[in-house]
Amino acid sequence: MASASGRCRLIWAAAAALVLTLDAAFVEDLDDSFKDNRKDDIWLVDFYAPWCGHCKKLEPVWNEVGIEMRSSGSPVKVGKMDATSYSSIASEYGVRGYPTIKLLKGDLAYNYRGPRTKEDIIEFANRVAGPLIRPLPSQQMFEHVHKRHRVLFLYVGGESPLKEKYIEVASELIIYTYFFSASEEVLPEYVTLPELPAVVVFKDGTYFVYDEYEDGDLSSWINRERFQGYLNVDGFTLYELGDTGKLVAIAIIDDKNSSAEHTRLKSVIQEVAKDYRDHFHRNFQFGHMDGNDYINSLLMDDLTIPTVVVLNTSNQQYFLPDRRIESTEDLVQFINNILDGTVEAQGGDGFLQRIKRIIYDAKSTVMSVFKSSPLLGCFLFGLPLGVISIMCYGICTVDSFGGVEENETSKKETGDRELTDEGSEEEQEQENKEKSAEISDGEHGQKHIFDKKKD
C-alpha cells in the first residue's frame, strides 16, 4: 500500500511538472539577441525580475496568456525577459519597474496598464496588434460591435483634417479603447449628426457628438469620454481616472447591505450621472465603491458609510458634504457648491500632508503586521526595541558610575586639602611658640644687661 501511494504521488508530481513545462513552452525566454531577431513580428513581452514577488504572481497567468494566444492563432508572440540580466535592452524599451508588460509593434512599444488577468491582457494584445482604425462596412457589423463594446468611438465621413487628428489620437489611446470608422449610411436611423465629418461616442444607451468649440482638444475629449457615465469604482479605476482631469463623485456603500439607506444613496448618484450629464460630465465622473477600507487609506480618514466623497485625483484633495445626502437635489447642490468654491477642500499633496502620509503608512504597516502575525510583529519590532533599551540602560549606567567616581574623587581631594590646611595651622602654631620663646630670651638678656649697668 505504501509503495502504491508513493508511486501515485510520483505520477502526480511528474504530471504537474509536465503541465508546467508545456505551459512554459508557449512563452519564449528572450535574451540579448531578441532586438535583432524579432524583425516584423508582433511581441507581447513581460519584463520581469527574478526576485520580484509580483512577477512570480504573474507567471502562471502569463503562461495561460501564451497558451491562449497560440491556440487562437493570434499573430502575437508571447515572451518574457529577465530585465536584470538584459538591463540595456530593458532600459531601451523604457522599463522602469517590474513586472512591465509591453506590446512591441514595429518601432512602437505600447505599455499595458490594466489589471493583470488573462482576459484583460489578451484583450489588450488583440486590440493593439490589430488595425489602428477598424472599418465597419455595414449596419449589421455596427450593431454587432456596438453590443460588444460599452464605449464605442466612431469616425463618420471621408478624408479630412479631423480624420487625420482622429488617427493621431488613436495611435496614442489605442491602449485604452477601440477606434472605428464608418460611412453615414451605416448608422442607425436614430443617430442624427449636425454635420460631417464627425466623431461620435456611443455609451450609456445613447450617443454624444464631439464639438471642437465646446469640448476642446479631440484627444482630451476622447480621454474623458472613454469611461461610462457611472462606474463601479476600485483602486485601479481611480488610477485611470486620474488621466481625465475630472473630479470623481463616489457613493461609499456596502454592496452586501440591502438597507434603504445604502440603496438610496447609490440610486441618487446614478440619477445625477444620467439626468445631469449635460451639466456635469465635463467636470465630474460618477460611481460607487464597495466598502470604505480603500478610501480610508487614501484619505487617511475614517469615513462612516454610507456617505459621499468627491475626489480630485490630480492633487489628492477631497470634499465631504456637511450634511447627509438624502436626494438628488442635495447632491446637485453639493456639486454646485464645489464648483463655485464654497466647499472647503481637504487633504492635498503639500508638505504637511506628505509627513502625515509617511506616519500613516508606517502606522498601518505596523498594525497590519501585528494583525496578521502577532508573533512575527513582536519579533520584528520587539527585538530592535529591546536592543535599544539595553543600549540606553548601558549608557545611563556608565554615566551613573562615572558620577559616583567623580564624587568620590572630589571628596578625596577635599579631604586632602583639609589635611593640608590643618598641617599648616600646626606649623604656624609651632613657629609662634618659637618666636615667643625668642622674644622672652631677648627680653631676659636685655634685663640682665640693664642690671649690670645699674650696678
For residue 36 the three cell numbers come to: 535583432
Active site includes 378?
Answer: no
CB burial of 251-266 (b: ≥16 within 10 Å; e: otherwise) equals: bbbeeeeeeeebeebb
- How many Cα atoms occupy the beta-carbon half-sphere of 119 within 13 Å? 0
* Alpha-carbon gap, residue 82 to 47, rounded angstroms: 6
> What letter does residue 289 receive in the DSSP assignment?
E
Q: How far apart are the C-alpha atoms of 100 and 232, rounded to whole Å? A: 26
Helix (H, G, I), strand (E, B) or coil at 441: helix
Tell me the sheet residues that pair with 319: 310
- Of 8, 52, 378, 392, the active-site residue reads 52
Name the active-site residue from 55, 378, 392, 396: 55
Q: What is each CA distance from 268 to 206, 217, 305, in whole angstroms?
A: 20, 31, 15
Q: How many CB atoms lie within 10 A of CB 56?
A: 13
123 HSE (CA, 13 A, CB side): 13
Q: By the 8 A CB rule, do 127 and 114 touch?
A: no
> CA of 158: how far to CAs of 137, 179, 213, in Å?
13, 15, 21
Rg (CA), the chain: 42
Q: Is the dihedral of CA 398, 400, 404, 410 positive or negative?
A: positive
Euclidean distance between CA atoms 200 and 202, whole angstroms: 7
- The CA distance from 174 to 132, in Å, is 7
As a whole number of angstroms, the distance between CA 99 and CA 80 comes to 10
Strand residues in 320-377 grouped as ranges (E): 346-347
Distance CA 371, CA 239 (A): 28
Cis check for the bond before 197: say yes or no (omega within 30 of 0).
Answer: yes
Closest CA to 181 of 134, 230, 239, 119: 134
Catalytic, 392? Answer no
DSSP E strand stretches across 15-113 = 28-30, 42-48, 76-82, 100-105, 108-111
Amino acid at 386: G
Q: How far apart are CA 139 and CA 156, in angstroms?
A: 13
Catalytic center residues: 52, 55
